[in-house]
Amino acid sequence: MSEVDPPSGPRPTPRADGDGRASAAPDPAIWTEEPPPPARPARAPARRAPRPSSSRTIIRGAVVFLAGVLVGAVLIAVTSRDEGSTDLDAGKAPAGATTTAARAEEDPPKGTGSAPTTTAPPTAETTAAPTEPTPVTTPPAGSPNALAIASALSPLPLPSDCPLPLGDSESLPNAARDYRGGVHEGIDFICGEYGHDAVATMDGQVLVANGSFKDPTPEERLEILNTAKQIGHTPPWTLAMLFGRFVAIDHGIKPGVGHVVTIYAHLNEIDPAIVPGHHVKAGDRIGEIGNAGTESAGTGEARPQAIHLHWEIHVDDAFLAQGATGGQTSDVYAELFGR
Ligand SMILES: [Zn+2]
């Protein structure tokens, strides 16, 4: 609309009427036409009352005044609205004022990371108008259904003989990972030494096995992480790099649960039998737990804590208990492993 208007009509005619003829005292008229906002109100009256120049300027003045009053009123209304909305959003994410779509995407990771207690309620709170997208972006594995899903799959055998850290929220899903602008999506089974096996938790079929993975240099790694940090979340391919040498297994569609996939990351080596398409049974060895993809793997630093299995379970494209609080997450995974 605004692109079409100028060339077609209004502008040429007012110029002829106002600027061309009333050359004696056109200065105010010209000035009012120069800046974009007041120009239009000033032109319109010029057409209607073209004859007496004195009354024309009076009318113009009145119109400009009225327009000014209107603009002022609109500005006051708009600013008061903005203030109201920022007040409403203040409790959550300040960036949430932009779009509901952005909110829907941002809320699960942020809430889980910084203020876990607010993550479950937001979905309920935002139900009124803007939350139609949230049910789509919060799949069944999210907090509302996580316990039921865990119960349906329970008891799952552990993927390693290293400790299951149910009491350490930093090693569980939903823990903040500020260095990459994201959250932890899996469980860290910290072994502290080489020689431990990673094993399949359920029957399934291998999706990914990147045995030829080589760690980036620390500088390269930092570049990648800084990009994720700037974005404000960790893109999937960045996560894949951080997995290092890893295996993903498709467990098919489980009745009453959904499509289940598990991930076994930071492996020191992958068993030669584990290749895409290969069928595995629960308990089958996948490889040796290591530190591939971690910072110390890039530096060559001997850091026992870095030798761990990062294990994830996804149901229908969400990690289990996605968006849950720390306590809820611990409960869900305790249920999953029958603890
Ligand atoms: Zn991890």
Q: What is the pLDDT of residue 78?
A: 38
Question: Residue 318 Cα, ligand 1 centroid: separation in angstroms?
Answer: 16
Of 3.40.50.2000, 3.90.1150.10, 1.20.1530.20, 2.70.70.10, the CATH number of 139-336 is 2.70.70.10
CA–CA dist 259, 270 (Å, integer): 24
Each residue of 108-146: pLDDT tens digit? 333 333 333 333 333 333 344 455 554 444 445 677 799
Distance from the alpha carbon of residue 243 to the mean position of ligand 1, in angstroms: 8
Cα(117) to ligand 1 centroid in Å equals 22
Res 142: pLDDT? 73
Query: 328 alpha carbon to ligand 1 midpoint, in Å?
Result: 18
> Is residue 293 exposed (0-12), middle (13-18) or buried (19+ Cβ within 10 Å)?
buried
Q: Report how far ligand 1's centroid is from the alpha carbon of 313 (Å).
A: 12
User: pLDDT at position 124, please?
Assistant: 37
Tell me the three state secondary structure of residue 290: coil
Q: How far is the CA of 221 from the centre of ligand 1 (A)?
A: 16
pLDDT of residue 21: 34
- DSSP code, position 158: P
The CA 9 to ligand 1 mean position distance, Å, reads 65
Cα 163 to averaged position of ligand 1 atoms, centre (Å): 13
Tokens representing residue 197 in the block: 């096996």
Q: What distance in Å separates the CA atoms of residue 129 and residue 119, rounded to the nearest whole number?
A: 18
The 8-class DSSP code of residue 82 comes to H
DSSP, res 178: G
Ligand 1 center from residue 186 Cα (angstroms): 6
Ranges of residues in the chain with a pLDDT under 50 are 1-54, 57-59, 61-63, 66, 69-129, 134-139
Structural domain spans, the chain = 5-88, 91-135, 139-336
Task: With H, G, I as helix, E, B as strand and everything else as coil, classify residue 198.
Answer: strand
Q: What's the 5 CA to ligand 1 centre distance in angstroms?
A: 58
CA–centroid distance, 246 to ligand 1, in Å, is 12
188 alpha carbon – ligand 1 mean position (Å)? 5
Measure 257 CA to ligand 1 centroid, in angstroms.
24
Ligand 1 midpoint to CA 83 (Å): 41
Amino acid, res. 5: D
Q: Give, as one character, the DSSP assignment of residue 15.
A: I
Ligand 1 centre to CA of 3 (Å) is 53
80 Cα–ligand 1 center, Å: 45
Q: What is the pTM of this model?
A: 0.61
Give per-residue pLDDT as tens, 58-73: 445 444 554 554 444 4
What is the model's pLDDT at position 36?
35
Cα(88)–Cα(305) distance, integer angstroms: 43
